[in-house]
A and B are shown apart, each in its own frame.
Chain A
């Protein structure tokens, strides 16, 4: 009962207080709490609010945190613009407190706007290199988010006013985004507060709107 209460309080608290970050948590704390609920908010790349759950699982004696989260674009709580992610993060190598971590994420995204509706399946691979202590961490991160396959349906408005012969269907490699910046976090009891900030570029290193990402998140371990 106590565990259920802490989960409930954690979800509610994090949903109320926290704001977005992808799941870059302190790998040095994976041995402390095996479960985590978290919430994130930020410009990533639109204003997105997410909630998620993670569990640390040992695989051949090595800790991996598996997480799942869902998020929606917070502007007008537009649930047509959403994403769901399944991710794993682990420490790849370390020397004292210096660690190289890696995460792999499967992403499903949806959107509906004035010109099209789309459902997309993609992936994100991110690495970080930084100092991970039990109570805090700071690291540089570099990652690549790829829209692998996207089903796209053009809107009636677009067809009527611009291009009636636009092709609906599955599109391969619609986009890819590099992101690079800083991630940091601090532990306050069982709560971990983290943030990320950095820049975004397309896979051909062209500019994006917005050119930056910035998000904060809070997780509660139990």
Chain B
């Protein structure tokens, strides 16, 4: 009988060994496959990478390029802006180009060397050149996408016919330094932060899939002052952890202080620009945007009531009303 003491342990070990096991780094296990791993996804190749991209509408119409948030997010949360609301869709009058930026969403992953602000600018310029080679495009950017749009306008004002910036993040490093402690809830006792720390024992960030997966841990609860919907949360496909980190770091100096400035040439951009903010949004909401509209010579702000930072997702119809009015004015040359 004495020898049977080891039987349960032995059986448990054999049972575990017999189970079908998986590797966290394999495509499709923790996070969805990217266009580099799933050929059925809509994609284009440019600048030595492969991008997840969808278009809606007539290619002969004026082009609107959508710029998602992050850095590291994806365009899924902006897709409602392509839907028909109150009998109208932007795709009726415009050719809509949705794409996941380099290393994010379902686009191909990359390492640090090509995840830079300069590469991002080149990607967007190539995209603009491909879909609208003969006339300037319109940009709709949300959060980081609003910053990215501003950076592009700052660099290539002649290629942008107008822009809608939905809750854009800080347009310069000084503002980012002022706000950086408010963007995430870094209370050491915060449950989400302890979840991040505890999770590292189960899945250590040693490959892209695990890094991307664990990056999700802060999404639901990490930004309480953004007041995003818990009933109807904005969805995504995959957070690109490497892109989020390295694009952010590219806007910082060696000591980790933000030193970017996307506004150095904005004074030359006299085209009207529309800012939109959610009334509940604290950090990147109305108060910040009232300051940021002043960075453009001709910008205005619309505040949508009853929404936080995810205003484009939860108040799509109201946002589209403002976007449509702005675009109509742009077409009329006002």
- Chain A residues in the interface with B (C-beta under 8 A): 43, 45-47, 73, 75-76, 78, 81, 109, 111, 113-115, 118, 120-122, 145, 147, 149-150, 152, 157-158, 160-163, 165-167, 169-177, 202-204, 206-210
Contact = CB atoms under 8 A, between A and B. Distances in A.
Interface in B1-53: 16, 19-24, 28-32
Contacts of B233: 157, 161
Contacts, number: 145
A73, A169, A174, A207, most chain B CB atoms within 10 A = A174
Given A145-B201, A171-B22, A176-B204, A161 B236 contact: yes
A45 B201 contact: yes
25 contacts: A46-B195, A47-B189, A75-B189, A75-B193, A75-B194, A81-B195, A109-B202, A111-B195, A114-B195, A114-B217, A120-B202, A145-B201, A147-B203, A150-B203, A161-B236, A162-B216, A163-B30, A163-B238, A167-B29, A167-B30, A171-B29, A174-B24, A174-B210, A202-B204, A208-B204
Contacts of B28: 165, 167
B197 A46 contact: yes
B202 A147 contact: yes
Interface residues of B, number: 44
Contact of B197 (A165, A166, A202, A210): A210
A215 to B, nearest CB: 13
Contacts of A76: 189, 191
B237 interface: yes
A161 B235 contact: yes
Given A75-B190, A206-B206, A166 B199 contact: no
Nearest to A155: B220
Contact of A78 (B19, B21, B29, B191): B191
- 9 closest A-B pairs by beta carbon, nearest first, are A175-B204, A113-B195, A46-B194, A46-B197, A114-B220, A75-B194, A202-B204, A46-B198, A161-B235
Nearest to B232: A161
B202 A118 contact: yes
Contacts of B238: 162-163
Q: Which of B23, B201, B237, B238 has the most CB of A within 10 A?
A: B201
Contact of A152 (B202, B205, B221): B202
A189 to B, nearest CB: 33
Nearest to A166: B30
Per DSSP, chain B at the interface is: loop
A158 to B, nearest CB: 7
Given A78-B191, A115-B217, A208 B235 contact: no
B219 interface: yes
A43 B197 CA distance: 9
A210 to B, nearest CB: 6
B89 to A, nearest CB: 24
Interface in B177-217: 188-206, 210, 213, 216-217
Given A162-B238, A172-B23, A173-B23, A209 B201 contact: no
A193 B45 CA distance: 61
Nearest to B230: A157
Contact of A113 (B24, B188, B190, B217): B217
Given A109-B202, A111-B202, A166 B29 contact: yes
Nearest to A114: B220
A95 B281 CA distance: 64
A193 B221 CA distance: 36
B194 A114 contact: no
A172 B216 CA distance: 21
A47 B191 CA distance: 10
B24 A209 contact: no
A175 B21 contact: no
A109 B198 CA distance: 10
| Best-surrounded residue of A45, A113, A210 (most CB of chain B within 10 A) | A113
